[in-house]
Structure 1
Amino acid sequence: MGEAKPKVIPYAGVDETVASAAKAALYKLLQTPGRLFWAGVLAGVLIGMGYWFAYMTAASFWPYRVFLEGTHVTKEHVGTLIGYEVLSKYHIDLVTIAKMILGAVFPLGLISILIGGAELWTSCPQVPIYPLLTGKAKDTAIIYNWIASYGGNFVGGFFLAFMATYGTSMLLGHPFFDMSFMFAYKKVHLDAWTAFWRGIGCNFLVNLAVWLWLRSKKGDFAGQAVLIWFPIFAFVAIGFEHSIANMFAIAAGLFGAAINWKTYVITYWQFFINNLLPVTYGNLVGCIAFITLYYWYLAAVGGKVEKAGAVDLVVATIRVGLVLAIIHLVVMVVVPAFIAAGVEAALGLHEGVKLANPYIALVPGVAACIYYLVLPFIAYATLKPWTAVKEV
């Protein structure tokens, strides 16, 4: 008798989750551009609404006030302003409470998206990738999904930022402006290395929430909401970076400064290149490395998911984490950055310039939105995603 071969079985039933997700996720790849883009717009609005809700409930605990002195942004601790130097000297403030409130209410967005139905790009490096890894879809279908969802998310977040500032004026008064502007200003002045790693931490937790939702009992909406809530609370309270949430947060800070100070303090080049570029890639890596490929590799032992080894894992990492990621970053971040920067140059907009009309700050972003609106239709016609799906 020959020696018995080692027996490997799927780990904790993850093969069933990956297999069911791979089949169920095909609807994300087989949508017309109008439908997929609109689903992305709603997701951008919902994530932005979570941020807006967080600002309105946490800002009273934010201990700083911001000022523009010439072209320089400064901040003062409230304790200093009211004459209590000890408060600022010993950092006696309520930042931690403010961050806890931010984290507690922000999950409104993802809970609404996953249970209600909308297309959030930061979950797309997980859910639509399972059909790709299990042979049910090709790369072109993934590119199409990423283009439509990311573009829709930007338009949704941009619109909501307009609503929160130019529309309702709710983020223009103190302390709401102080908090929203400081968040935006800090985000566009992060170094790329820090922004990248904060993006990794964020989307690891976001897609942990998505994975828990995939594993949850269908129809148990209350239980699903609780499962989603905890990881999202953690990422916000820690201070990680979420590219889609930043589309609202940075735009709101940019608009608020334009209205309150009549000054162009944050540029779209900073918006796209300083923040969205490294954060988006960090979000990709955080999801792909720690969630998508991890659970697929655990599942791929011959249960409901075809066997795959270490070599397959390396190939998949290069395929998704480098090739598809670079295509996405160039098309969805770098190109619109140049479009917006070109419009800024044409209008004479640069950091520190005074604005006769604060509405001029909208124009470069609107140009980027038009690009994002048109691109899914071009991608649908050229990539033909319906031909890249092997099983329905």
Structure 2
Amino acid sequence: MYSKTLDNFADVAAVKAAFSRDKPLAFFISSMMAGAYVGIGIILIFTLGQQVDPSLRSLVMGACFGIALTLVIFAGSDLFTGHTLFMTVGVARGSSDWAGLVRNWVMSWVGNLAGSVLLAWVFWLAGGGQVLKEGADLIYTASAAKMNAPALALIARAALCNWLVCLAIWTSARASSDAAKCILIWWCLFAFIACGFEHSVANMTVFSLALFGNHPPSVSFGGMAYNLLWVTLGNIIGGAGFVGLAYLGASPKEAGETLVATQVPATASAR
């Protein structure tokens, strides 16, 4: 039932593993673009969130974050959280090895961070808009809450987050039309933002913006490192485990696939 999608993802993993190995600079630049694309979504939702009533904030911010993954998928770039799914399937299907997985994850994560910081710096140079203006506090309160949350809570929220992000990637890959892909991406990202889950790459821009601004003592580089450590771990659990390994486990065995394949023509001819 899911073998075709898994085979396609295994092919993607092989391409991404070769890309990061053979053209590391190009892969790093592509990863930077993904970090920046997610950061554009963060700037958008915090701009809007700063201006709406708190009772509507989760709804508005969640409804507007779909631009992030839409840009990543349709423009093309390399997002760490998506690669937790691709590379897990690739290793399981034999199209990549563990060395390729580790190299891909590390390079995409660092590239995403570089792109996020660069975007935040340019936005700060531009004046910070509604996000960093005098009296705006949403970016600081959100950052402080993320930086001081318990480790287990961060891991759990991050696992739930990347479950949804990778489901957006999985379902959009199985959809046939661009409109359907966009709707699926929108729903999954709406859910993760509105529910307050944790995405490592999104947090990179959130924290960078807060640190560039006039932040309180509760926002720090140490807090950023603390959050990203646990959230990255949780994102791996969500993408690799809850989606990648789950669908690998739910796929028919090779013998079962052969049996189904031999039955289909007979069933069709009987109609």
1:42 maps to which of 33, 40, 52? 33
Q: Indicate the residue corresponding to 1:173 in structure 2.
A: 133
- Whichever residue aligns with residue 28 of structure 2, its letter is F
Cα distance in 2 for residues equivalent to 1:202 and 1:244: 11
- Structure 2: which amino acid aligns with 1:33? P
Q: Does 1:126 align with 2:85?
A: yes
Shift in Å, 1:127: 1.1
Partner of 2:225: 272
Structure 1, gaps ≥5 residues long: 1-12, 62-93, 307-392
Question: What CA deviation, in whole Å up to 9, does each residue of 1:266-314 have, x standing for no partner?
Answer: 22121112x01111111111122211001011125116989xxxxxxxx
Q: CA RMSD in A?
A: 1.9
Aligned to 2:84, what secondary structure does the other structure show? Answer: coil
* Matching residue of 1:192: 151
Please say if 1:288 is aligned against 2:240. Answer: yes
More moved, 95-104 vs 197-206: 95-104
- Give 1:297's aligned residue: 249
Q: Given that residues 159 and 239 in structure 2 are in contact (C-alpha distance below 8 angstroms), is that contact kept between their aligned partners in structure 1?
A: yes
- Secondary structure (helix, strand or coil) at the match of 2:213 reads helix
Q: What is the alpha-carbon distance in structure 1 between the residues aligned to residue 59 and residue 134 of structure 2? A: 20
Task: Determine whether 1:245 maps to 2:241.
Answer: no
Deviations 1:181-235, CA, capped at 9 Å, x for gaps: 1111111111111111111111111111011012111xx2222111111010000
User: SS at 2:85's partner residue?
Assistant: coil
Asked if the contact 1:15–1:304 (Cα under 8 Å) also holds between the matched residues in 2, the reply is: no
Q: 1:22 matched to which residue of 2?
A: 10
Aligned residue in 1 for 2:268: none
Q: Is the 8 A contact 1:103 1:235 kept in 2?
A: yes
CA displacement 1:128-164 (0-9 Å, x = unmatched): 2212101121100111111111011000111112122
Higher helix share: 2
Give TM-score, length-normalised by structure 1: 0.62
**Aligned match for 1:57, one of 38, 48, 53:** 48
Moved over 3 A (4+): 303-306
Aligned AA (2:16): K
Unmatched tracts of structure 2, length 5 or more? 259-271
Counterpart of 2:165 (choices 206, 216, 222) is: 206
Q: How many residues of Structure 1 are paired with residues of Structure 2 in the alignment? A: 254
218, 224, 228: which one aligns with 2:181: 224
Amino acid at match of 1:280: T
Counterpart pick for 1:160 among 119, 135, 146: 119
Q: After the TM superposition, which residues 72-91 of structure 1 pair with which residues of structure 2 at under 5 Å, given as runs? A: none
Give the superposition deviation at 1:48.
Answer: 0.6
Deviations 1:355-386 (A, max 9, x none): xxxxxxxxxxxxxxxxxxxxxxxxxxxxxxxx
1:33 deviates by 0.6
Correspondence 1:96 to 2:58: no
C-alpha distance in 2 between matches for 1:21 and 1:43: 19
